[in-house]
Amino acid sequence: MLKECIKGLNIQPSGTYVDVTFGGGGHSRAILNELGPQGRLFVFDQDENAKANLPDDTRVTFIHSNYRHLAKYLRLHKGIPADGILGDFGVSSHQIDTPERGFSIRFEGRLDMRMDPRADLSAWEVINTYSREQLTDLFFKYGEISNARRLAAAIMEAREVAGKIDSTSDLADLARPLSQGKGAKYLAQVFQALRIEVNDEIKAIEEFLIQTPQVLRPGGRLVIMSYHSLEDRPVKNFMKFGVLSGEPEKDLYGRYDCPWKLITRKPIEASEEETADNSRARSARLRIAERI
């Protein structure tokens, strides 16, 4: 949905834009194509490897940081007010396809899953040091796994027997018999839950979202692509009501303060053509809002 994202940003040639998930740089390159010589683009990625994809272009500034520190770094680089912010959540195909990063069920690799290789917590620590309760909780909350308790028990038992669980295939072998006929889908849920925990993904999204109104100028656009309901829920709520969860506080007249005008009432989904080429697009939800 590259085209829809770029259209959603409503790019002004001399404007200031922010791509908070630079990754392979595909979206950034499309933004640069629309920007004039005075335009500026700030790109964030917590994975320094993404730097290798930077175009040789003086309009771009790379910020090696988690987007949860959006306002701090934009202030530092004089990037406020911005005219548009783009987020394309999750891991990049490069990260998934690098076996030693440990993101994928498809490859043998040490359990890692850190998007930021400087971070202390890896999937290995989670699987080998978390308590039964912590494991149950994260599989239930982040993987929506119905037999989370049984999975946590199997991990505790394997830890006792083998001493440790080292690799993606160790974990997959252990989880597969519990998949209740769901096969690869179950394993994907297990890996997703771990990845969200390791990278503290939902809190990072929430902290990022609440900074966006102070960073954007009135009329500026927020364009977000999410890939599962845990990511999409806070985005949807925040754009609709100006709060991350629940109902907003209303005044005596039943009105509430929301900094956004919705550009998409319903999320945009990828076309059949795009999902045929790109399986990740199948679960993508694009939401766009404009700062009032």
Q: Which positions touch ligand SAM (CB under 6 A)?
A: 21, 23-27, 44-47, 50, 66-68, 88, 90-92, 115, 204
Query: Among residues 155 and 288, whose Cβ is nearest to ligand SAM?
Result: 288
- In angstroms, what is the minimal distance from the CB of 23 to ligand SAM? 3
Query: Among residues 119 and 154, whose Cβ is nearest to ligand SAM?
Result: 119
- In angstroms, what is the minimal distance from the CB of 50 to ligand SAM? 5
* 214 half-sphere exposure, CB direction, 13 A CA radius: 11
Where does residue 104 fall: left (phi above 0), alpha (psi -120 to 50 degrees), or beta otherwise? beta
Token pair 């040490």: residue: 110
Nearest alpha carbon to residue 157 among 177, 179, 140 = 177
- Report yes or no: 44 and 65 within 8 Å, Cβ to Cβ: yes
Residue 255's CB is within 10 A of a number of other CB atoms, namely: 9
- In angstroms, what is the minimal distance from the CB of 24 to ligand SAM? 3
Query: Among residues 21 and 104, whose Cβ is nearest to ligand SAM?
Result: 21
- In angstroms, what is the minimal distance from the CB of 284 to ligand SAM? 10
Query: Among residues 62 and 67, whose Cβ is nearest to ligand SAM?
Result: 67
Query: Among residues 106 and 132, whose Cβ is nearest to ligand SAM?
Result: 106
- In angstroms, what is the minimal distance from the CB of 268 to ligand SAM? 16
- Report yes or no: 190 and 175 within 8 Å, Cβ to Cβ: yes
- In angstroms, what is the minimal distance from the CB of 181 to ligand SAM? 30
Residue 120's CB is within 10 A of a number of other CB atoms, namely: 7
Nearest alpha carbon to residue 116 among 143, 86, 139, 91 = 91
Query: Among residues 111 and 225, whose Cβ is nearest to ligand SAM?
Result: 225
Residue 285's CB is within 10 A of a number of other CB atoms, namely: 22
